[in-house]
Amino acid sequence: MYKKALEYLNKFYEQDFKSQDKIPKIFELLNEVIPFETCAMFYLVPDELQLKSHKNGEFKAKYKIDKNLTGTLYHTNTNISEQLKQVLKTGDYITASRLKVNGTVLGVLCLSRKDFPFNSDETNIFNTYTKVISNIIKDIELSKILTRQTKTLQKGLEDIRLAYETIKEQNKKIKENEKLQNHFLANISHDLRTPLNSIIGFSEILSNELFGELNPKQREYIEDIRIAGIRLLGMINEVLDITKLESHTIKINITNIDITVLINEVCNILKPLYNKKNIQITFNCPQKTEISGDYIKLQQVLFNILGNAIKFSPPNSTIHISAEKNNNYLEISIKDNGIGISKTNQKKIFKKFYQAENPLSKTEISTGLGLTIAKEFVKLHKGEITVQSELKKGSVFTIKLPIMND
């Protein structure tokens, strides 16, 4: 069974998912390896599962979930089949797995059948397949396009770095024509994200040692690939976000957000980066603090600011995150002990493409867009970002956001 599963693994990336029937194609490939009667894909928001697509069976558009199940889905790796069986109120045998990319839980995928339960081999294969499916679904939702680019995986991360340097050079040439620049950046971001998602997805599969035990050096190299992939994917997403902001096509989806869940997820995504430098993250936040906002965009704001704090902090240092209420606002502060920012540069760091001169600028690649995007996303939420810093004494970035009305 494992041999067949491995043979079908690459077929997910060989498919053309541009058409409208992309999700049913995924279901068909799954059914070739793991027989099931019904299949359903749900996206996860803080308090409910939203039906994305299904094959056979009858499902509601939304399923409310309690905080205990939300915590289990976001913060543990335990089996969730029995909990999902209760949520769906079915008597069938079920196997369920999280849709997760770089530590972020996007939703769940469920298979069910009536006659006999799923065995351990089927469960292990299903959990592995959902890692690949997660990267495919993530890409579909953000860019609405998935091209057949898996051959790029063989060329390695060095080609991705060279492609990124080409983007920077092209940006300088086309900056006078804003429309052409946005069109170019959007297209190249789509093309780069597909093979990069393959690299990240396969590195995660290898790190789980499903197909063989790794020696320490192999495990180190695979972790380096994963870290480099996370950094590059973040830069590619920044390029796509800035084109949407400049073309005024950005939209926000307002929901109720538990700020503790949001911050913990961002820390989880960036965990490989701060573990690599042996940086400790401390966190202090009041219980049950909620705000109204776009979950994905506020996640990107925290990702960009905390990512910078990690990037410009020395090894073995500490970064402290705090959140506290101030009248009708929530103030989230991220304090590091890094290289700091001069007063002159503090006025420039939120400008597009600006990168201050510092000793790390030659070793840390960056688009110079992260803080620009963070500021614009916070403005969309009627909030603001401020910074306090001194050279060689670290920085404190504070995000001020309106608190949800009771």
Give 122-132 pLDDT, tens digit per residue: 888 888 888 88
Helix axes 178-207, 157-174, angle to 10 degrees: 170
Work out the pLDDT band at 306, boundaries 50, 70, 90.
very high
Q: What does the H/E/C string look like for the chain?
A: CHHHHHHHHCHHHHCCCCCCCHHHHHHHHHHHHCCCCEEEEEEEECCEEEEEEEECCCCCCEEECCHHHHHHHHHCCCCCHHHHHHHHCCCCEEEEEEEEECCEEEEEEEEEECCCCCCHHHHHHHHHHHHHHHHHHHHHHHHCCCCCCCCHHHHCHHHHHHHHHHHHHHHHHHCCCHHHHHHHHHHHHHHHHHHHHHHHHHHHHHHCCCCCCCCHHHHHHHHHHHHHHHHHHHHHHHHHHHHHHHCCCCCCCEEEEEHHHHHHHHHHHHHHHHHHCCCEEEEECCCCCEEEEEHHHHHHHHHHHHHHHHHCCCCCCEEEEEEEEECCEEEEEEECCCCCCCHHHHCCCCCCCCCCCCCCCCCCCCCCCHHHHHHHHHHHCCCEEEEEECCCCCEEEEEEEEECCC
Q: What percent of the chain has pLDDT over 90?
A: 15
Give yes or no for a contact between 336 and 313, defined as CB atoms under 8 angstroms apart. yes
pLDDT > 70? residue 174: no
Structure confidence at residue 398 (pLDDT) = 94
* Tokens representing residue 219 in the block: 């495990």
Structure confidence at residue 154 (pLDDT) = 42
Structure confidence at residue 171 (pLDDT) = 61
7-11, 155-159, 165-169, 384-388: lowest mean pLDDT where?
155-159
Work out the pLDDT band at 147, boundaries 50, 70, 90.
very low
Structure confidence at residue 173 (pLDDT) = 59
Structure confidence at residue 385 (pLDDT) = 92
Q: How confident is the model over 317-356, as pLDDT tens digits?
A: 999 999 988 888 899 999 999 888 888 888 788 876 556 5
* Tokens representing residue 41 in the block: 């894909």
> Looking at residues 243-255, what average pLDDT do you find?
74
Q: In what order do the strands lie in the sheet with 395-402?
A: 280-284, 318-326, 329-335, 395-402, 384-389
Does 126 or 243 have the greater pLDDT score? 126
**Phi/psi class of residue 43: alpha, beta or left (left: φ > 0; alpha: ψ in -120 to 50)?**
beta
Q: Cα(276)–Cα(259) distance, rounded to whole angstroms?
A: 26
4-13, 96-105, 372-381: lowest mean pLDDT where?
4-13
> Looking at residues 224-253, what average pLDDT do you find?
73
* Burial environment of residue 300 by CB neighbours within 10 A (0 to 12, 13 to 18, 19 or more): buried
86-90, 231-235, 259-263: lowest mean pLDDT where?
231-235
Q: To the nearest whole number, what is the mean pLDDT of the chain?
A: 78
**Phi/psi class of residue 327: alpha, beta or left (left: φ > 0; alpha: ψ in -120 to 50)?**
left
Does 143 or 377 have the greater pLDDT score? 377
Nearest to 164 by CA among 75, 90, 239: 239
> Looking at residues 206-217, what average pLDDT do you find?
82
